[in-house]
Amino acid sequence: MDHQDTIVALSTPPGISALAVIRLSGKESITLADKIFKGKKLSDQPSHTLHFGKITEDDTVIDEVVIGIFKAPHSYTGEHIVEISTHGSSFIVQKIIRLFIDLGARAAGAGEFTQRAFLNGKFDLSQAEAVADLIAADSDSAHRAAMNHMRGGFSAEIKKLREELIHFASLIELELDFAEENVQFANRNELTGLILSLRDHLLHLKSSFRLGNVIRHGVTTVIAGRPNAGKSTLLNALLNEERAIVSEIPGTTRDAIEEVVNIDGVLFRLIDTAGIREATDVIEKLGVEKTMEKISQSTVLLYVFDVNEMDREELLNELSKLPQGKAAVVVTGNKIDAQRNNNLENQYLNIENLIFVSAKQKIHLDFLRKKLVSLVAGDAQAGDKTIVTNVRHYEALSKADQALEDVFHSLQSDASGELFAADIRRALNALGEITGEVTTEDILGSIFSKFCIGK
Ligand code: GDP
C-alpha cells in the first residue's frame, strides 16, 4: 500500500442522515479540495479553521458544505487533512468522493487514516487499536478501558518494561563482543531480580485479560435449572421487560435465547436454556444436552431452583450433575415469596454463592446483580489500573513471559550470556510487537483491516 498519496473516504455511516463527513488525508488534500470548492482559497487559510462554501462540478452546485482544514503535522494522521461536512445524502457523498478520485485521490482502505497516524508516529500500535475499541465500546467499562489504552496508559507501561530490559540486553550483547576475555558486564543478581519483577508485572497484566475479555465481549451467563424453577421469569426480571416466553408447561423454553443486559457497566449475555430434567423424548433430550454444552462454555452459570421444591441434599445432588467447567456458579433459590419457612439460610447451609430471590415479585434482585458483577469484575472495576482487553496483546505478553522464563532458567544454571541473549531479544521483540516498535506488514494488515473504512 502506498502511504504517500492522498486518500478519501466517508467517515460517517452510509445512508441518509442530517450531515455526512468526508475526509481526505495526504499531501494534496487541501490542493484537491481547492479545485472543487468555491468560496475562498483553502491553501491560504490557517490550520484548524472552518470554511463555508459550495462544491461544484462544471458550474453545477453539488452541495453547500463546511470544510475543516488541519495542516501537517498537527492533525489526526500527521498529514494535511480536509474534513467536508455535507448534507447526509448518499448521492451527494458519492458524487463528491468521485470528484476527488477523478482528481487523483484514492479511496481509503479500512483503517487507513489510523494506520497513517501510526506510521507518522502520532501514536503507537496499541493506541491505534484502542481507537477501534473506543468506537465499538458499548458499556462504561469497555469505554473506560479503551480510553485508558488510547491515552497511552498501557503503552507507557510496556515501554517502561522494555526499557528496563534493553539496558541489560545491551550489557549482555557487549559481553558477547568480548567473548574471549570472559568478562561479565551485567550483574547476574541484578538481572535475576529484574527478570523476576518483570515476570511479576507480566503476570498481573496477563491475569487482567480475563476481566478485559469480559469487558470487551460481555459475560456469557447461562441460566439453567429444572423446568419451572423460574428461569424465564428471572431472565425477564433482569432484563426488566418481557422478552422470553414464560409458560406453565414444563420444558417449553427449548432453544437458547440470548439477551444482553448492562449491570453496573458490565455487559452480561444472558442465555436461557431448556430445563434440566430426565428427558422423556428425543427433542427434550437434545435440549438438555445443548444446555450442558452451553454451561461448559459459559463464564457464569446462574443455577435457578425453586426453594419450595428442592431441599439441600437434592440441590447438592443436582449441582454435582452439572458440567464441572471454568464457570463461576451463582446458585439462586427462587420463589421465596411463596415460601412459608422463613429460615432459608439455615435450610441451605454451606452452599457457596447462594442467593434467595423472587423473580416474579422482583425481591432481592439487587443482591443477585451485585453478586454477578463482583464474580467477574471483582473490585478491579473501580480502579484505573491497566486492563488487557486485546487477545493480540495477551499473546505477546505470554510470549515475552515465556522468553523471560527461559532467561531465568539460564541464569539459575549459571549459563553464559551467549545462551540467553537470544531469549532476552525474544522478550524484547514480543513486548515491542504490542506497541508496534517491532512490527511486520502482516501484523499491521491484520490489525487495520478490522477497522471501518473512513477511520
Ligand atoms: P422456567 O421453566 O424455569 O423458565 O420457569 P418459568 O419462568 O416459566 O416459571 C414457571 C412458573 O413459576 C411460572 O408460572 C412463573 O410465574 C412461576 N414463578 C417464577 N418465579 C416465581 C417466583 O419468584 N415466585 C412465584 N410464586 N412464582 C414464580
At 1 the pLDDT is 60
Q: How confident is the model at residue 328 (pLDDT cuts 50, 70, 90)?
A: confident
How many C-beta neighbours within 10 Å does residue 254 have? 16
Residues in the chain, overall count = 455
Taking alpha carbons only, the member of 67, 95, 82 closest to residue 27 is: 82
Q: What is the DSSP string of 216-227?
A: HH-EEEEEEEST
Contacts of 151 (CB under 8 A, 6+ apart): 127
Q: Please give the Cα distance from 218 to 269 (Å, whole number).
A: 6
Q: How confident is the model at residue 248 (pLDDT cuts 50, 70, 90)?
A: very low
Interior/surface letters 33-49, b for 16+ CB within 10 angstroms, e for the rest: bbebbeeeebeebeeee
Taking alpha carbons only, the member of 270, 265, 268 closest to residue 139 is: 265
State the average pLDDT for the chain. Answer: 87
Q: Is 337 in the pocket of ligand 1 (CB under 6 A)?
A: yes
Determine if the pTM surpasses 0.85: no
User: CA separation (Å) from 114 to 29, 132, 179?
Assistant: 16, 9, 45
Q: Please give the Cα distance from 378 to 385 (Å, whole number).
A: 13
Taking alpha carbons only, the member of 17, 24, 61, 23 closest to residue 39 is: 61
Q: Is 2 exposed, middle or buried (0-12, 13-18, 19+ CB in 10 A)?
A: exposed
Give the type of residue at 34: D
Lowest mean pLDDT among 153-157, 175-179, 352-356, 434-438: 175-179
Q: How confident is the model at residue 252 (pLDDT cuts 50, 70, 90)?
A: very low
At 314 the pLDDT is 94
Cell of 173: 550483547
**359 CA: nearest ligand 1 atom:** 23
Cell of 79: 498529514
Q: What is the mean pLDDT of residues 190-216?
A: 89
Q: Is 390 in the pocket of ligand 1 (CB under 6 A)?
A: no
Instruction: Say if residues 148 and 161 touch (Cβ distance below 8 Å).
Output: no
CA 437 / ligand 1 centre spacing (Å): 57
Taking alpha carbons only, the member of 122, 135, 35 closest to residue 70 is: 122
Is residue 284 predicted with pLDDT exceeding 80? Answer: no
Is residue 142 predicted with pLDDT exceeding 50? Answer: yes
Tens-digit pLDDT profile for residues 398-451: 999 999 999 999 999 988 888 889 999 999 999 999 998 887 787 788 888 878
- Residue 185: alpha-carbon gap to chain centroid: 42
Calculate Rg over the CA atoms of the chain.
29
Q: Is 238 in the pocket of ligand 1 (CB under 6 A)?
A: no
Q: Locate all alpha helices (DSSP H) within 240-390, ordered by sequence.
A: 282-297, 312-320, 344-347, 365-377
Contacts of 395 (CB under 8 A, 6+ apart): none
Mutate to test the pocket of ligand 1, among 360, 361, 367, 368 (most ligand atoms within 8 A of CB): 360
Q: Please give the Cα distance from 107 to 137 (Å, whole number).
A: 27
**272 CA: nearest ligand 1 atom:** 4
Is residue 179 predicted with pLDDT exceeding 90? Answer: no
Q: Please give the Cα distance from 219 to 162 (Å, whole number).
A: 32
At 181 the pLDDT is 76
Is residue 305 predicted with pLDDT exceeding 90? Answer: yes
Taking alpha carbons only, the member of 104, 85, 106 closest to residue 35 is: 104
Q: How confident is the model at residue 257 (pLDDT cuts 50, 70, 90)?
A: low
